[in-house]
Amino acid sequence: MTKTEKFYGAKNKLSHYDKETQHLMLTAMNFDVVAHENFSLPEIVFLLRRSFKERLTHKQVLEEKTMRPGTDPSSGFCMIASYLIYSLTGGDKIWEMHGTNLHWWLYHKQSGAIFDVTHTQFSAQDIKEIYKLGCPVSKLNTDNTFNEMLKIRANKLAHCAGIE
């Protein structure tokens, strides 16, 4: 077992995470989005999901001194990653950001599909319940300070993932 596998608790957890990354990349191919100048949506997904596994990403983006052992690598990145994808691939022309006080994801306006690059931090049953409770982020209480912090952290995540 590698050091990374030990950290995340088991080889099969990391294998599941990597399989879900491939599934998300395939799903991303189906969305009509505004192309980023250097990367397709599937490439952005791959780069983000890969960066979630790195200690440096957690340190720089989430400002955590240590990563959380045994948790899904995407844990804590939902809001920042959703905002980054939103801003890189067409914004409100393509997406509507949805969320709860616990989790954020994207809603593709044209297809009506949910696109959530960090869903693996929850069980399948829990994420279905979370989606039912969600609403457009515009209806959540956020202020200018929060929005500025979100933009700063999204820029840090883009840098850590190599999406610039």
pLDDT at residue number 148: 93
Cα distances (angstroms) measured from residue 144 to each of 17, 61, 127, 131, 150: 34, 19, 28, 25, 10
pLDDT band of residue 115 (cuts 50, 70, 90) is: very high
pLDDT at residue number 8: 52
Q: Which amino acid is at 81?
A: A
pLDDT band of residue 2 (cuts 50, 70, 90) is: low
pLDDT of residue 4 exceeding 80: no
Considering its fold, how many domains does the chain have in total?
1
pLDDT at residue number 11: 56
pTM: 0.90
pLDDT at residue number 13: 77
Secondary structure element (H or E) that encloses residue 6, with its range:
helix 3-7
pLDDT at residue number 15: 86
Mean pLDDT of 66-79: 87
pLDDT at residue number 161: 97
Domain, as residue range, for 141: 3-161
Residues 6+ apart with CB under 8 A from 95: 85, 86, 89, 106, 107, 108, 109, 115
